[in-house]
Amino acid sequence: MNTPLPYTFVLFGATGDLSLRKVLPSLYRAFHTGKLGDEGRILAVARSPLDAAGYHDWAEKHVRPHLDEGIWVAGTWERFLALIDYLPLDLSRKEDYGVLAERLEQYKGTRVFYLATGPSLFAPICEGLHHANLNEGARIVLEKPLGTDLKSSMAINDAVGAIFTEAQIYRIDHYLGKESVQNLLALRFGNALFEPLWRREWIESIQITIAEELGAEGRGDFYDQTGALRDMVQNHLLQLLSIVAMEPPFSMTSDAVRDEKLRVLRSLRKLDEDQVGRDVVRGQYAAGASKGVAVPGYLDEPGVHANSETETFVALKVEIDNWRWAGVPFFLRTGKRLAERVAEIVVNFRPVPYPLLGPQSARGGANRLVIRLQPNESIRLYCLAKQPGEGMHLQTVHLDLAFDQFFHADRMDAYERLLLDVIHGRLALFVRRDEQEQAWRWVEPIQKYWATSGKPPKRYAAGTWGPPAASALLAQHGTCWLEEEN
């Protein structure tokens, strides 16, 4: 475990939803386990006219309910609150940042600015920090969404990059902090068993799914301007794809890892209009039932436009044009109001070339690796074994690595790991500008096709696995989604 460092963590947007649900609970977890230490301060910054005591009361009311019961300890919570100061500030007025500079003179250590605000405030905040000479030697964390398309993303990156160097900028994608994503790297590059098989000669197809049971959940006004392509595909799904498909880096340094991810994104086959129409499924949930409870359709959610064509579901087939992956289809899928909350990577190995032990020995899916990212992180390897008794009758069995059962040490939350990485200056799990903009370049043809085709999203009932077209997409290639086979 790294020795806790002195730090000053400045949280902009400190009364917002992201701060109360993710950032502050993760900082508390790190403090509770001794990874954060007492040698630092957290300065909460927002518009609300509070003082430190008032913000502590706010945190007691709004943040504490998001802490796991197993980690909340009264004395530890009070010590954590004692680290938190508060400063009311108009983030859009760069002249006001002199007050922030005066306050920060009291604190020492690595200086981190976390922008838990809307992207429209990223440039004004950076300009204010520059005006007060606070950008030198500091680290700045940017939350998604970074723009709505390539042009707006580049504009944000230009504005931030004019004041902070690329080595100071941490673009956060919390999926990269998940334990199972880190174990994917260990699985591939730490074991002689898998790396020789991790190629087109032995892998038939790969599925990556991020499914949510929840709908818009009171965030309809935000989500209706975003949609699943921008919210999930452009960042989370393409980042997971790049890690699954990357070549072994020459080292595990930040840029070596990110160089290989970028090569994957550059190798993604561009989709023309015909391919978007054929290989991309766009959906929107209608009324249905989630866990037996009736739920409204997307168009009936508060804040959603009555005639909205914003997608809540995307499934697509993509291919990587390089020697390792040529001809291997990657099926990506994400959606809201689906049947189950799950994030997983499914690697389907090719069946044996000749059914020596009967038809079942050549059955697709018998040899499979399933990497579960949520809700319970695990790795499961499926293979065939002989059933006890007479004759050669095969049955699919599996070998499990359930992290919570095998490793008994405290496991870090994704945000907790990433926040500690910022404090310690580790960039490997953060998205570099060229990665992010290459992902936007790849999704642009999909955005343009949807904007001009006049075809509305396909409807699917809440509580199902999405439009039937998503199943047909895989059926064209002789396969199916994992839950359909089971």
Residue 107, pLDDT score: 92
Residue 365, pLDDT score: 61
Question: How far, in Å, are 175, 177, 188, 301, 369 from residue 406 at the CA level?
Answer: 22, 20, 19, 42, 18
Closest CA to 230 of 148, 312, 122: 148
314-323 average pLDDT score: 98
> How do residues 450-481 score in pLDDT, each as one tens digit?
999 989 999 999 999 999 999 999 999 999 99
Domains of the chain: 7-143 (3.40.50.720), 176-411+433-485 (3.30.360.10)
93-121 average pLDDT score: 94
> How do residues 16-52 score in pLDDT, each as one tens digit?
999 999 999 999 999 999 998 888 999 999 999 999 9
Residue 357 reports pLDDT greater than 80:
no
199-203 average pLDDT score: 96
> How do residues 170-186 score in pLDDT, each as one tens digit?
999 998 998 878 888 88
| Beta carbons within 10 angstroms of residue 8's beta carbon | 21
Residue 390, pLDDT score: 78
236 in catalytic set:
yes
Mean pLDDT of the chain: 92
What is the band of 378 on the pLDDT scale with cuts at 50, 70, 90?
Answer: confident
| Amino acid identity for residue 414 in this structure | A
Least confidently predicted of 208-212, 268-272, 305-309, 379-383: 379-383
Q: Residues annotated as binding site?
A: 47, 90-91, 144, 174, 178, 212, 231, 336
Residue 361, pLDDT score: 59
Percent of the chain with pLDDT over 90: 72
Q: DSSP secondary-structure letter at 250?
A: S
Residue 406 reports pLDDT greater than 90:
no
H or E element that contains 333: strand 330-335
Residue 403, pLDDT score: 66
Q: Which residues pair with 401 in a beta bridge?
A: 379
Q: Residues annotated as binding site for NADP(+)?
A: 47, 90-91, 144
User: Cα–Cα–Cα angle for 409, 237, 142, nearest 5°?
Assistant: 75
350-368 average pLDDT score: 72
Q: Which of 32, 62, 236, 408 is catalytic?
A: 236
pTM: 0.92
> How do residues 275-312 score in pLDDT, each as one tens digit?
999 999 999 999 999 988 999 999 999 999 999 999 99
* Structure token pair of residue 49: 């006219």
Residue 344 reports pLDDT greater than 80:
yes
Residue 367, pLDDT score: 87
